[in-house]
Amino acid sequence: MSDAIDLNRLPPAEECIRDVRAWLAERPAQPLAYLHSFGCQLNAADSEKLAGILAAMGYGRTDDPAAASLILYNTCAVRENAEDRVFGTLGSIKRLKTDNPALILCVTGCMTAQESVAEKIRKSYPYVDIVIGSSAVQRLAQMLWAHMHGMRHAWDIETYTDIPEGVPTVRDSTFKAAVPIMYGCNNFCTYCIVPYVRGRERSRDPQQILDEVRGLIADGYKEIMLLGQNVNSYRGNAEIPDFPALLREIDRIPGDYWIRFMSSHPKDASPALMDALLECSHLARHLHLPVQSGSDEILRRMNRRYTTAQYLEKVAYIRAKDPHFSLTTDLIVGFPDESEADFEATLDIVRRVRYDNMYSFIYSRRTGTKAAQMEDPVTDAEKSARMGRLLALQREIAVENNKRFVGRVMRVLCDGTAKKHPGHVTGRSSENMLVEFPGDAALIGSFADVRITESHSGALTGIRITDEG
Ligand code: SAM
Ligand code: SF4
Ligand code: F3S
């Protein structure tokens, strides 16, 4: 039977969903699926679609892999440790497959788009049943259909470039929603695997985005995160040509909600984008602007296409209009041949911009990228020591920065309870600051006005103004 199945000629996804659903309905109990997403928020957004397709096929969900009849991993390839985690997980799951040969094990996401990884899975983890290439959420039902029709290994590592519209979606939250607006990347930063595993940039139709955002706001969502590897290179149509225009159009939708977006490439962070950010009332007052390095020579070798002077000009533009505007960044420590002077230039830019938060990573060599060919005499010990220095500096800056919020009333979107402080609620301010205050879990999912009474390096604490004596 399996020989007769041609993966390029599978029935349409809707037909496969119907068939698999009918097939599963014959089981004595509802089969459960375990879905785990590694990596970035774009992967998490893809996983919400995978969850939607699983639900449409009739699967229930479980947090326990041992209770599942289908296990699906959505993988990340951005750094070696991300891949190692996936391989470790695949190794540990073998026992479940041995105990229950009917268990269906699927792998999708960015790792599968690399031929070498696919080969490793084929050789070292032959018990993986289904492999689906990155950006191919809509292939899940079809590949499952092929497997259920006797194809022992249903493998398709193609990176798909069509934009998934109308795919059933099960969202993780009832008040924060991720909305991808573009997929892929054309920038080819020399250290980065993403353009190779996610393909070229493609933008969603602006009307589709607006309809989705309108629907989410009508459903009571309080925070919409617009996502793309490089959101500000979004290209729309004649009426809504670019990202600043899209932001202004979304901002016109009435309602009580915040809009955030990630990530912006500094080369495309135009004055028009920053003006939209400052002028639109629904836009959160925070910009994540990954600088990666403070050394012009390293930025050139990273192919980032901006200089530190150009980056600082953008920071000055926004801070001239709002001196306290919140900026966060990504930084890579130990790019090949990073000298002590290069690293000190990174410390210097961090001191100048005074970020509220940063995500810093030790450079990880990615096979297939340009930087993988570069000489790298810097030792791992030196890289770790530099990372320690960078983190210490950032902690110092955060402690100082956070003092500016004490005494202010901040609007906070409540998102959880404080694990260490029973009876306290946590949330994020418009500036994306973590805020904790005494409150009831019933507040989760709503806005609260909190007067900040104390600041720490990683969080602010306060009291709701309605609770003030
Ligand atoms: N498109 C986004 C941008 O350019 O800001 C970043 C997307 S990437 C998934 C997130 C972060 O991972 C990057 O900003 C970079 O700091 C880090 N990163 C990417 N490749 C890396 C590598 N090979 N080693 C270490 N960090 C890396
Ligand atoms: Fe990677 Fe650079 Fe694209 Fe970001 S902009 S995804 S770092 S290649
Ligand atoms: Fe990882 Fe792919 Fe995102 S490589 S960071 S999951 S785009």
Task: State residue 42's pLDDT score.
Answer: 94
What is the token pair recorded at 393?
Answer: 């500096």
Whole-angstrom CA distances from 333 to 327, 343, 347 are 19, 8, 11
Decide whether any atom of ligand 2 lies within 6 Å of the 185 Cβ: yes
H/E element, 223: strand 223-227
Report the nearest atom of ligand 2 relative to the CA of 188: 8
What are the start and end residues of each CATH 3.30.750.210 domain in the chain?
173-284
CATH class for the domain made up of 406-467:
mainly beta
CATH: 3.30.750.200, 3.40.50.150, 3.30.565.10, 3.40.190.10. Which one for 296-405? 3.30.750.200
Which residues are CB-contacts of 184 (< 8 A; sequence separation ≥ 6)?
135, 161, 195, 198, 199, 200, 201, 202, 229
From the CA of 37, the nearest ligand is 3
Residues 227 and 218 sit within 8 Å (Cβ to Cβ): no
C-alpha distances out from residue 399 to 162, 210, 354, 434, Å: 45, 39, 11, 13
In single-letter form, the type of residue at position 405 comes to F
Ligand 2 contacts CB of residue 194 (under 6 A) = yes
Single-letter amino acid, residue 9: R
Which pLDDT tens digits describe the chain residue by residue (469 residues)? Answer: 445 788 888 999 999 999 999 999 999 999 999 999 999 999 999 999 999 999 999 999 999 999 999 999 999 999 999 999 999 999 999 999 999 999 999 999 999 988 888 889 989 999 999 999 887 888 999 999 999 999 888 888 887 788 888 899 999 999 999 999 999 999 999 999 999 999 999 999 999 999 999 999 999 999 999 999 999 999 999 999 999 999 999 999 999 999 999 999 999 999 999 999 999 999 999 999 999 999 999 999 999 999 999 999 999 999 999 999 999 999 999 999 999 999 999 999 999 999 999 999 999 999 999 999 999 999 999 999 999 999 999 999 999 999 999 999 999 999 999 999 999 999 999 999 999 999 999 999 999 999 999 999 889 999 999 988 7
The DSSP result for 108-137, as a single string, is EEGGGGSHHHHHHHHHH-TT--EEE-TT-G
Q: What distance in Å separates the CA atoms of residue 311 and residue 325, rounded to the nearest whole number?
A: 15
Is 104 within 8 Å of 69 (Cβ atoms)?
A: yes
Q: What local confidence, expressed as pLDDT, does residue 1 receive? A: 46
Q: Whose CA is nearest to atom 2 of ligand 2?
A: 189
User: What are the percentages of helix, strand and coil residues in the chain, rounded to 5?
Assistant: 40, 20, 35
- Contact predicate 130/107, CB 8 Å: yes
d(CA 431, CA 410): 9
Question: Residue length, the chain?
Answer: 469
Distances (CA, A) of 229 to 97, 186, 276, 430: 35, 9, 20, 22
Mutate to test the pocket of ligand 3, among 185, 189, 194 (most ligand atoms within 8 A of CB): 194
Residues 6+ apart with CB under 8 A from 331: 290, 291, 292, 293, 346, 350, 358, 359, 360, 361, 390
The preferred substitution site among 41, 110, 183, 187 for testing ligand 2, maximizing ligand atoms within 8 Å of CB, is 187
CB of 39 closer than 6 A to ligand 3?
Answer: yes
The reply to whether ligand 2 has any atom less than 6 angstroms from the CB of 265 is yes
- Kindly state the helix (H) or strand (E) to which residue 429 belongs, with its residue range: strand 424-429
pLDDT at 3: 52
Q: Whose CA is nearest to atom 19 of ligand 1?
A: 192
CA dist 392 → 133, 193, 395, 405, 457 (Å): 40, 29, 5, 21, 11
For residues 73 and 106, is the Cβ–Cβ distance under 8 A? yes
Q: At what angle do helices 206-218 and 243-251 cross, to 10 degrees?
A: 30
Residue whose Cα lies nearest atom 25 of ligand 1: it is 363
Ordered DSSP codes for 289-347: ---B-S-HHHHHHTT----HHHHHHHHHHHHHH-TT-EEEEEEEE--TT--HHHHHHHH
Every domain range in the chain assigned CATH 3.40.50.12160: 7-156
- Alpha-carbon distance of 451 to 427, in angstroms, equals 13
Q: How far is the CA of 330 from the centre of ligand 1 (A)?
A: 7
Which residues form ligand 1's pocket by a CB distance below 6 Å? Answer: 40, 78-79, 191-192, 194, 229-230, 263, 265, 290, 292, 330, 332, 361, 363-364, 366
Task: Tell me the CATH architecture of domain 7-156.
Answer: 3-Layer(aba) Sandwich (3.40)
What pLDDT does residue 114 have?
Answer: 87
**Do residues 332 and 294 touch, judged by C-beta distance below 8 A?**
no
**Which amino acid residue places its CA nearest to atom 1 of ligand 2?**
192
At the top level of CATH, which class does the domain 173-284 belong to? alpha beta
pLDDT of residue 136: 84
Residue limits of CATH 2.40.50.140 in the chain: 406-467
- Ligand with the closest atom to the CA of 77: 3
| C-beta neighbour count of 249 within 10 angstroms | 18
